[in-house]
Amino acid sequence: MAIEKESKFMEWFNEILQTAEIYDYRYPIKGMGVWRPYGFLMRENMLKIIRKYLNETGHQEVLFPLLIPETNLRKESEHITAFEEEVYWVTHGGKDKLKIKYALRPTSETAIYPMYALWIRSYKDLPIKYYQVVNIFRYETKTTRPLIRVREVTTFKEAHTVHATRQETEEQIKEAVQVYSKIFDELALPYLVLKRPAWDKFAGSEYSVAFDTIMPNGKRLQIGTVHFLGQNFSKVFEIKYLKPDGSHEYVYQTCYGISSRPLAAVIAIHSDERGLILPPSISPYHAVIIPIYYKEGKEKVLGYSLKIKNKLLKSGFRVKEDFREEETPGSKFYFWEMKGIPLRIEVGMEEVNNQSVTVVRRDNRQKVRVEENILVTKIRELLDKIQKGLKEKADKWMQEKIVEVHDLRDAVEKIGRGFVVKTWWCGEEKCGRDIEDKTNAKVFGFPFPWEEKQKETSSKKCILCGKKAKFNIFLGKSY
């Protein structure tokens, strides 16, 4: 790649999306882009991982309409106040002006909850753990960026759960955090799990927990959020249930969501100067087979390449062969390295004669000769190593991006140099907001769950007012 990733991150990012043919952002509506086949496969693989972890914890998939009547969207006041400026409205059906205009869902609470009110009658109907995978629309006012801040989020995975008690709902938050942790681990992403400060919670929630990662330029990217809604929505949508004792109570709710952002983070964090490095978990192909031959060996080399391919396909690997005649092996190496395929399998006459292949890792470019009789085991082992190696490297990288500071000037200086700072805060909202103003940065929040992580705080002081600290916070620039 011609552009340097850390210093000119956004340019680098735009270039890689184009060159690797992932997502084309030149669609003639701002904030909307096109998934190309290669990106589509990455998106599919990510979706499979998310569905796997949601399904195995008892979440069930549903599908609601795209349009929400204005009257419903307006019911929860905090929610509509926050989303008002971001809603796309459908005002006409053909030539007819609609009596009640419809919103293109900016998120689906107000689409789903009126139906929950119809479905939920008694405690026997609870809990409900539904999710859907849909596109949502937000007329974002901040600078839009491909995959990171779009106006059409094309693969929004949103879960909406309903519970009988506050206690059970708190447990659900923990389950969601666990599920999301597993998902991001499998994407080999480094992340912080933080409870957001009150002034930055999801509109309509009691509190929000967010997963944050750090991009190569030092900016925080929120890659997923989990919200405790309490009874805020159930009270306005009249979602009540009959308790075993015969009385009625409003239900408690949570919701949580993931967009295309984790994919942006995967692309950004693991790649190097040669292009993408994809974790095997979401790479469109685990391995690409490249034949190397001169005129005489062609048939034998191609035949053996196909044999290897079929063997790997049968064992469940995603494999592609590149038999293009018009390209040299060298240019194919270069091409698939840029595309980030974890393993390159080279097959030449020597390999044919020795019933073996040569395998090259994308992450560290190590080359090994692998006998055909142990091919499947060896490929699995190499992919595991790459997967784990990427996660470890990324975790370490992120830790190095976080530095501890104890005074405001130091914080400003470190943030200016592309770091995220770890510091302490008294817990007063006014103080927190002043910290944001004075550092021209955002308070990301404090570690979740808080109770288990506050030991080291007792001896610390608030970075602004100097009073006894209550929270260890993270602070930095943000998308």
Does the footprint of ligand P5A cover residue 39 (CB under 6 A)? no
Rounded Cα distance, 282 and 50, in Å: 11
Going from the C-alpha of 459 to that of each of 1, 425, 471, the distances in angstroms are 47, 12, 11
- Pick one of 75, 195, 261, 309: the residue that binds ligand P5A (CB under 6 A): 261
230-248: burial string, b at 16+ Cβ within 10 Å, e else: bbbbbebbebbbeeeeeee
Q: How far is the CB of 468 from Zn ion (least distance, A)?
A: 9
Residue closer to Zn ion by CB (options 141, 459) is: 459
Does the footprint of Zn ion cover residue 408 (CB under 5 A)? no
Q: Looking at residue 148, what DSSP letter applies?
A: T
Q: How far is the CB of 468 from ligand P5A (least distance, A)?
A: 32
Distance of CA 448 to the CA centre of its chain: 18
Rounded Cα distance, 281 and 292, in Å: 28
Sign of the four-CA dihedral 294, 298, 302, 304? negative
Query: 10 Å Cβ neighbour count for 77?
Result: 12
- Pick one of 5, 75, 79, 138: the residue that binds ligand P5A (CB under 6 A): 138
Residue 186 contact among Zn ion, ligand P5A, none, beta carbon within 5 to 8 Å by kind? none
Alpha helices in 291-362 (DSSP H): 298-314, 329-339, 349-354
Distance of CA 311 to the CA centre of its chain: 33
Q: Which of residues 324-343 bind Zn ion (CB under 5 A)?
A: none
The owner of tokens 């784990």 is: 388
Alpha helices in 140-289 (DSSP H): 166-186, 232-237, 261-270
- Residues in binding contact with Zn ion, number by CB under 5 A: 5
Count Cβ atoms within 10 A of the Cβ of residue 273 and give its class: 0-12 exposed, 13-18 middle, 19 or more buried: exposed
Only one of the segments 19-27, 150-158, 242-250, 414-422 lies at the binding site for ligand P5A (rule: CB under 6 A); that segment is 150-158
Residue closer to ligand P5A by CB (options 224, 342) is: 224
Rounded Cα distance, 336 and 343, in Å: 9
Residue closer to ligand P5A by CB (options 262, 418) is: 262
- Pick one of 50, 153, 282, 473: the residue that binds ligand P5A (CB under 6 A): 153
Residue 426 contact among ligand P5A, Zn ion, none, beta carbon within 5 to 8 Å by kind? Zn ion
35 Rama sector, left if φ>0, alpha if ψ -120 to 50, beta otherwise: beta
Q: Which of residues 88-107 bind ligand P5A (CB under 6 A)?
A: 107
Q: Which of residues 206-245 bind ligand P5A (CB under 6 A)?
A: 222-225, 227
Residue closer to ligand P5A by CB (options 261, 401) is: 261
Q: How far is the CB of 386 from ligand P5A (least distance, A)?
A: 26
The owner of tokens 């006014």 is: 430
Cis ω for the linkage preceding 280 (within 30 of 0): no
Q: Looking at residue 461, what DSSP letter applies?
A: B
Q: How far is the CB of 431 from Zn ion (least distance, A)?
A: 3
Distance of CA 464 to the CA centre of its chain: 33
Q: Which residue is nearest to ligand P5A (CB)?
A: 257
In the shown chain, the binding pattern of residues 437 to 466 toward Zn ion, with x for contact by CB under 5 A and - for none, equals -------------------------x-xx-
Only one of the segments 48-56, 73-81, 250-258, 444-452 lies at the binding site for ligand P5A (rule: CB under 6 A); that segment is 250-258
Only one of the segments 36-44, 241-249, 360-368, 425-433 lies at the binding site for Zn ion (rule: CB under 5 A); that segment is 425-433
Only one of the segments 70-78, 186-194, 253-261, 287-295 lies at the binding site for ligand P5A (rule: CB under 6 A); that segment is 253-261
Is residue 226 within 8 Å of 181, Cβ to Cβ? no
The owner of tokens 């992580």 is: 453
N- to C-terminal Cα separation, the chain: 23
Residue 79 contact among Zn ion, ligand P5A, none, beta carbon within 5 to 8 Å by kind? none
Only one of the segments 42-50, 161-169, 256-264, 379-387 lies at the binding site for ligand P5A (rule: CB under 6 A); that segment is 256-264
Q: Backbone phi, then psi, for 107, in 5-degree steps? A: 175, 165
Does the footprint of Zn ion cover residue 90 (CB under 5 A)? no
Only one of the segments 99-107, 116-124, 302-310, 427-435 lies at the binding site for Zn ion (rule: CB under 5 A); that segment is 427-435
Q: How far is the CB of 54 from ligand P5A (least distance, A)?
A: 12
Q: Which of residues 181-210 bind ligand P5A (CB under 6 A)?
A: 202
Residue closer to ligand P5A by CB (options 204, 284) is: 204
How do strand 192-195 and strand 23-24 relate by DSSP bridges?
unpaired
> Rule CB under 5 A: which residues touch Zn ion?
426, 431, 462, 464-465
> Rule CB under 6 A: which residues touch ligand P5A?
107, 138, 140, 149-150, 153, 158, 202, 222-225, 227, 255-257, 259-261
